[in-house]
Amino acid sequence: MGSNPQQVRKRRVFYIPGYDPIHPRRYRELYRKEGAAQAQISGYSLTLSPKRTKGPYGWHVEAEMDGQRTGADIEVLVWSDIVRGSMEATIPGTYWQLLSTAWIYISTGALRRLMRLRKGPVIAALYPVGMLLLQALLALLLALGVAHAYGLAAGAVGMNGTFAWLPGWALGLGAGYALLSWFRKRDGKFFAYYLMHDYAHTAATRGAIAPEMEARMGQFRALIAEALQDEGLEEVLIVGHSSGAHLGVSVLADLIREGLPPERPALGFLTLGQVVPMVSFLPRARRLRADLKYLCQRKELAWVDVTAPGDGCAFALCDPVAVSGVAPDGKRWPLVFSAAFTQTLSPERWKQLRWRFFRLHFQYLCAFDQPGDYDYFRITAGPLTLADRYGNRKPSRSRIDFPVSKFTSVAAE
C-alpha cells in the first residue's frame, strides 16, 4: 500500500451511536485510548486534537499510515437526549413496558422469526425480561417475609385481628419497593432497565420512526449534505453502530433521494454490530424496509456491514436487506463480513472479553491485538476510501442472506 497513490488526504466522519444516554465525550476517549493501542500494535501514528469544524461534538485526527498522512474530522451525531427521555419511566412504568414490548414481539411473530437468525441477540432481548421478573419475585418474597415476621411479632404481644396485620403489609410492601429501587439504582451492573428501555423504545411504535427521531434524523441529513459540498474532502464516511445502523440507513436513503452534488467526495457507509432485524421485522417498519430496499441498489455510496459471531448483542453476519425480505434483483449492498473476534483477538484477550457481552458489542471501535483486514482506525483515519479498501473483499460465506421477516411491505405500498 505504501507505493499506491493516496486517495484520501482529508475526510469527514459522522458517527451515529446506538441507544446510549452517555455524553459523546465517551466516544472521543474510547477513540483516543484504543487508537493509541492499535497504532502501537500496527506500527502507524495517530494523534488527536480539538475539532476544526462547526457542528456537533467531535475531534480531529492526524494519522500517518503506510508513509501517507491523512487528516480526519470525526463528529458524533447526538441523540442521547432522546434516549434519556425514553428512560424516564418509573418502576411500575418499566414493568408495563416489559408486558407491552413482550406482547408486541410475540403477537406479531417477530420474536419467533428473529430466533431463526442468531440466538445471541434474542437471548439479549429476553435477558431484561427474565432479570426484571426475578427482581420482582425477590421483592415479593421480601414483602411477604416482612409482613409475616410482623404478624408473628404482633401475635406474640397479644395483637390479633385484621387491623393488626395492616402495618405489617405496609412495611412489607415498602421493603419490596425499596428492594426494586435498589436494583434500579445499580442497573449499571445489571443492565435490566437499560435494555428494557432500549427494546421498548423500538417496539413502542411497532417499527415506525417516532416524530422526534424523524426530526433529529433530518438534522443529521443536513450536516452530512453540507459536508458533501466541501470540495476539499476526498471522503465523507458515516458510521452507524448498533441502533445507529438503521438510523443511518434512513438518513442516507433520504439524502440520496434528495440528490447529491455532481462533484463531491466519495460517500461511505460503515455499519457495525447492527441490530436492524429488531426493527425491520416489526409490522410498521415500512419506512425502514423501503430505505433498505432503496439504499442497497445505489451506486452513489459504498456500504460495508461488519459484525462478529462473538458479539452476542448483534445479528452477526445477517444481511440486513436480505433477511428483512426486501432484497431486489439489483441489490449491490451491503458487503457483509466478519470482524472474527476469535481470530483477531489473541487467545488471552479473547478469554478476558468472552463473557463481557456489552464490552464485546463495542469491540468494533477498539484495538485488535491480532488485526485482520478490519481496522476501525485505518478506515476512519487512513489513506483509502471505504470503497477502495474493500473493493476486492469477498463477503463472508457463512452470512445469512435469505428472507426471514414476516412483514415485507414498504412505505410506498
pLDDT tens readout for residues 74-83: 999 999 999 9
Grid cell of 193 as nine digits: 432497565
CA dihedral (35, 38, 44, 45) positive or negative? positive
Q: What are the residue ranges in the chain where pLDDT is below 50?
A: 1-3, 413
C-alpha cell at 131: 432479570
**What pLDDT is attached to residue 3?**
42
Cβ contacts of 88 within 8 Å, gap of 6 or more: none
Rounded CA-CA distance 218/240 in Å is: 16
User: Which amino acid, residue 210?
Assistant: A
Report the pLDDT value the prediction gives residue 165, as an integer from 0 to 100. Answer: 64
CB-CB contact of 306 with 354 (8 Å): no
Query: In the prediction, which pLDDT does 1 show?
Result: 37
Largest CA distance in the chain: 94
Contact 301, 252 (CB under 8 A): yes
pTM for this structure? 0.92
